Structure formats: C-alpha cells, structure tokens
Structure 1
Amino acid sequence: MPIKVLVVDDSALIRALLKEIIQADPELELVGQAPDAYVARDLIKQLNPDVLTLDVEMPRMDGLTFLEKLMRGRPMPVVMISSLTEQGSEATFRAMELGAVDFVAKPKLGIREGMQGYAEEICYKIKAASLARLIPRQAQAPTVQEPLASQGPRPIIGTEKLIAIGASTGGTEAIKDVLLGLPADSPGIVITQHMPPGFTRSFAERLNRMTRLNVVEAKGCERILPGHAFLAPGDKHLLVERSGANYVTRLSDAEPVRRHKPAVDPMFRSVAQCAGRNVIACLLTGMGKDGAQGMLEIRQAGGYTVAQNEATCVVYGMPREAVAIGGAEDILPLGEIAEALLQQARKRGGGNRV
C-alpha cells in the first residue's frame, strides 16, 4: 500500500511542485491538497492521510498553531516545509518541539528548480515520517533542569574524554534532551545531526540558549574543551583530530555518506581513531544505517557506546542497525542516556590512554 500524503501550503506553486514530486514516487500517493489549515482539517477527516506536509507560514491560521491543535486532537506524522530564514528556522525548531517529525527547507531562489532538486530528500523524509512513533513531548525530558549544585558534589571529569552524538529523524529534540542532562563541565562534545545548510547555525544557537553548554556550529580548527559542544554544519562532515594533547575539530567537504552530508559515520570513525577508549558515544533516533558502523569502530577501539532504545525513538532505524552489528554496548531510553554518558566519563578516570 502506498503512503497517503496530504499537502498543506498556501502557495499554489509549492502545492503543484509537491504534487509532481509525490506522484512520481510509486511508494507515495497524493490524496489531497489544502491551501490553509481550515481546509486541511476537513480533508484530514475525509481522507485519513498517513503523512501531512505542512507549511510554517500560512494565512488565517499559521502552521505552528495548526500543528499544536493537530497534535492534541488527531496526532499524525508531519513534515514541515520551512523557509530558510532566521524566523523560519526558529519556527521550524518550535514545530519539532510540538511534535513534527522532520522538515524540508524551501529554496530562497529558483523555487521550481530548487524543489525539484530536493525531490529525493522530500520523498525520503515523507517515507521516514510514515514510520515515525509519535511520542508526547511531556513524556520526554523537561526543558528546565534543576541546578546541579543541588545534586551534591561530583568527581571532576578529565579534559581527555570526548562525547560524540549522532542522530537523524527526530534528532533535534533527542539531542536537546541529552544536552539538557549534561553539566557545564561535561567532557567536550561533537554532534552530527542530519540537517540542511542554513539550519545548523540556528539549531546550535537554540541549544546554546537552552542548555548549560557552550554550543556552536563547528568552523574547524577549534579546540574541543569541556563544556563546549560543536555541531556539524549542514554542508560539511565534522571530524575530530589530535593536536598534541588536544582534540580539535576539522571540517571535510568529502562526498555524502549514505546520502548524508554531514554524516555520522565519518565523525564516529574519526573519534575512534584519535581518541580510542576515551570516546563516549551515543546514537539516537533516525532513519537508515548511518552511524552504525562508526559505533562498532568506537566500541572496537575501547570506547563506550549506547544506542537509544526503540520505545523512545521517533524512528528506530540507526540505533537498530548499530545494535544488530554489535556496535552498542548499552541500549537505553532517551531519558537515561545523559547520565550514562557522565557515569562512563567518571569511570574512565584520567590520563590520555588511547
């Protein structure tokens, strides 16, 4: 059975382009189109789609308001169609908080050519969304954490430890939840989230505001210090290298890996090679196999690896693959991963043993 898709967008051009893209994929079926939220509401009742594509900016009722109402009354997988602007990216991450599964960026110029260029990605994300488990946000980690001082003293974590995090579909919220559980003196962190160019800087800024960590989009040649997190930019692979006693970031413009750039596997492979048993890695929710082989290499190098469990994943793809090939030492619910990372950092003590 093809996946039934309903397109909601106030732009007739975007609706027409999405119609072409969806109808060209035999695994997808376009069951309807709506120019606004009110028409969409009626069509959802009539057509019972499997996946909704939803514009962020619409007249009469904006996409965020409609999404919030939809997730309360009739939860379903939603892929947001987002403008590549500062305001658009902020709205997109708010949509992820409200329960949207993923998003696609509208091109700024040459909309017809740009959307056709995204055709493969759009279809891939709709298919991933159709497999998504809708997890109520209130069941996840809170967005405000208690001060760590109230939790009593903790051992100092050495600067030689390195945390590596990989994620894809559903990962923006999962990464946020993990980082919210980490203290300001946590080991240095590198993160790869499958995300298009233009959104990673906004995502890093959002994480920087919400967590105790200093989170930035990686630029390359940065020293990875405790309390600092570096996010792979949307058009480069993020790697880690050794420079004397330090770990430093490096960006690579190599070809996509498993259709992704940035990809998790190159980052995991680089930390396995340069940090060995000092690596503490987690692979979170996502579609596909990216990160599984890299997790295995980290484990084989003596590092610690944990995969998010199926019950808390939006899409249990990447973690499942890591578990299947023996790459995951532990499998844990999302809410327990931050503490597991910290416990491993303390267990592994001091000294640059690679």
Structure 2
Amino acid sequence: MKQLSVLVVDDSAFMRKLIKDFLNEDPRITVLDTARNGEEAVTKIMQLKPDVVTMDVEMPVLNGIEAVKEIMKCYPVPIIMLSSTTKAGAENTILAMEAGALDFISKPSGAISLDLHKVKSELIEKVIAVSKMKIKLNKPMSKPSLRKHEKKVPNKNEIPKLVLIGTSTGGPRALQEVITKWPADFKAPVVIVQHMPPGFTESLANRLNSLSSVNVKEAEQDDVLTAGTAYIAPGGFHLRLIQKAGKTMVSLDKEPPVGGHRPAVNVLFESASKIKNIEKIAVILTGMGSDGTHGLIKLKESGEAVAIAEAEESCIVYGMPKSAVLTKKVDEVIHLHSIAAAIQNYL
C-alpha cells in the first residue's frame, strides 16, 4: 500500500516536530514537510500535493480558516484542523469546517500541548480516514445578520411530531445545509446528536443559530421541546428524551459512552422510541461508523417513526447512513440538498 503523504501546518516549531514525529511513527504515513503559517501552507500544498493536511487553527500571516478557503479554491485536499478548546478556538474550528476542512482534533491543553500524545492514536486514525473521504465544496451561506429578525418566540403547545438527527464526520456542514432552509414557523422541535467533544457543540449551535430562521441552541437539562427550535446534544453528555407532566423534555447524563460515543445517536433514538403519541422523523446524515442503527430499529419497532438516510453521493462519509440503509428500515434515501424539504413534507 502506498504511504499517505502529509503536510503539517502549525506556527509552533515544537508542535510541528511533535505532530511530524507521531505521524512518521506509523508505517502507513510519511510527512512530506511542515509549514509555519497558512500562506506557507498554500505554497507548499501547490508544490508537494500532499494526500492530507493537518492545520493549526490560530496562526499568524494567514490563519487556519483563511488558509482552508484558499486551499479549497486552488488545490482541494482533505484537511484536519487542530484546535484549542478555548471559545475562540472552538468557534474558529466550526468556521474552518464550514470552509471545507473535513474533521478536527482538539489539542488537550491549548495551543502548545505538551501532552499531545493523548490524542496521538486519534490523530493517526483521522489522517488515514480523511484520506479516503470526498471533498464537498459548499456554496457560501447567506449573511447571518439578514435573517435575525425572522426569529419567532417558540410555541409551547403540544408537539404532534418530532425531528431527530444523528451525524458525525462532515456533520456541521450537512446540518447547515438542512437547518438553514427551514422557515421560522417550522412545525416541530428538532433534536440533534453530532459527535463532538465538550466545548465545540455550543459554538456549532451558535453558528447555526446565526445562519438560520429556526432557533438553534445547545440542549440543557430539563429543556421543554418546542416547535421551531433545534436542540444540539452537548459534547460529553448523552441526551435522552423523557415525558413529564405531558411535556417532552431533555435529560442529560454522563453514563458511559455507547459504541465509543457520548453523545450517542443510539441513545437519543432509543429514548425517543419510548415517547408515546408523537410521530418521529429520524434522519441519519454523513458520518463514520454505525451509530444510530440500533436506535433506528427501536424507533421503527415503536410504530411511530419515518426514517431518512443521506444518499451516498452527497455524504462525506457513507458510514452511518449505509449501516442504517442495510437494516431495510429506512423509508427514503435522499441527497443532502433535498433532505430539508423531505422533512418538511412529513410535517
């Protein structure tokens, strides 16, 4: 098997050496070169044509977000962002993924992480995984400020239907494609599990909220689900739905990861299968692995669920949707661009 070639981009010489050494330890990977900033990265990508790029988010001269935009224009290549878990780091990571980066890894202890060895295996796995992924060049979204005034106060009435979405790698851009197409008077609550570590889901929710007519928030304990609001499971917590006093509510917990994930799509879907007298529309978007498949079976067995899976042609990773489709429980397999409309049709 041909070795994967990688360009490592970071403004810290220490971090460049550490990342390079970690990657070179794996016989499947060779680091071609390193770059100190986004500008140097763009030049070296054009010269060396690497298979994968690891990119620091915060750099001088040309930062990670601007570098990703430039790379997507001149030589699209799979990019993994390395980010600190600060608020600014998380926000910028979401913007970099919106611009075209495929995945990210959070540095354990800030910009200069002496304990980077903690994410060494994750780094190697993701470099190998993204090398096989398709790069989707999204059209830019409309300016957030133009849509702010459209927000409506949620209606606390009983909810007849409920939208459930599960996604992983490639999810932030897929969610943006779906959620930003809905009107402010969207007729159901939406509950989302996106595989992400703590600190990043809040930034994702804020970003989607700024671009959408529906309200988008990071879910909180005891949130009462209301139509026209999307709730994103916070990183590090399972999100379960419960019924209390005639209301459907959010319950968060730190029980062990399920299938390696917390939050897990299976946990959300399985809890939703126990909610009575509400029809569920379950959607599985792009992502690695099979999270959501077991929960989808439970939902379908409850007799009150419609299942939609993203089509292979639009997925960055056709893992989770494929696993769901193989159960033969999926009602529709749809291209990402048509999923927002399909969900509305069911409402």
TM-score between the two structures when normalised by the length of structure 2: 0.89
Secondary structure in structure 1 of the residue aligned to 2:270: helix
Distance apart, 1:182 and its partner CA:
2.1
Distance apart, 1:42 and its partner CA:
4.2
Secondary structure in structure 2 of the residue aligned to 1:204: helix
Secondary structure in structure 2 of the residue aligned to 1:274: coil
Return the alpha-carbon distance in structure 1 between the equivalents of residues 99 and 75 of structure 2.
Answer: 13
Distance apart, 1:321 and its partner CA:
1.0
Return the alpha-carbon distance in structure 2 between the equivalents of residues 86 and 248 of structure 1.
Answer: 27
Return the alpha-carbon distance in structure 2 between the equivalents of residues 134 and 143 of structure 1.
Answer: 23
What does 1:174-185 correspond to in 2, within 5 Å? Answer: 174-185=174-185
Secondary structure in structure 2 of the residue aligned to 1:203: helix
- Please name the residue that 2:164 is paired with: 164
- Please name the residue that 2:332 is paired with: 330
Runs of at least 4 residues of structure 1 off by over 6 A? 140-144
Distance apart, 1:305 and its partner CA:
0.7
- Please name the residue that 1:195 is paired with: 196
What does 1:1-354 correspond to in 2, within 5 Å? Answer: 1=1, 2-108=3-109, 111-113=113-115, 115-138=116-139, 159-186=159-186, 187-275=188-276, 278-302=279-303, 303-345=305-347
The sequence identity of aligned pairs, in percent, is 38
**Structure 1: unaligned runs, 5 residues or longer:** 148-156, 346-354
Secondary structure in structure 2 of the residue aligned to 1:72: helix
Total equivalences in the alignment: 334
Return the alpha-carbon distance in structure 1 between the equivalents of residues 175 and 47 of structure 2.
Answer: 36
Q: For 1:176-199, what per-residue CA distance to the aligned partner results, in whole angstroms no more than 9, with x for missing partners?
A: 221112232331111110111111
Secondary structure in structure 2 of the residue aligned to 1:30: strand
How has the CA–CA distance of structure 1 residues 261 and 143 changed in structure 2, closer, same or farther, with 3 Å as cutoff?
A: farther
Secondary structure in structure 2 of the residue aligned to 1:112: coil
**Structure 2: unaligned runs, 5 residues or longer:** 148-156
Q: For 1:185-221, what per-residue CA distance to the aligned partner results, in whole angstroms no more than 9, with x for missing partners?
A: 3311111101111111111111222112222111211
More deviation in 263-272 or 24-33? Answer: 24-33
Task: Tell me how large the CA RMSD over aligned residues is.
Answer: 2.4
Q: Does the CA-based 8 Å contact 1:296-1:328 persist in structure 2?
A: no
Task: Give the aligned residue type for 1:224.
Answer: L
How has the CA–CA distance of structure 1 residues 296 and 69 changed in structure 2, closer, same or farther, with 3 Å as cutoff?
A: same
TM-score between the two structures when normalised by the length of structure 1: 0.87
Return the alpha-carbon distance in structure 2 between the equivalents of residues 37 and 343 of structure 1.
Answer: 44
Task: Give the aligned residue type for 1:49.
Answer: P
Q: For 1:153-184, what per-residue CA distance to the aligned partner results, in whole angstroms no more than 9, with x for missing partners?
A: xxxx9713111111111100111221112232
Return the alpha-carbon distance in structure 1 between the equivalents of residues 281 and 158 of structure 2.
Answer: 13
Q: Does the CA-based 8 Å contact 1:306-1:332 persist in structure 2?
A: yes
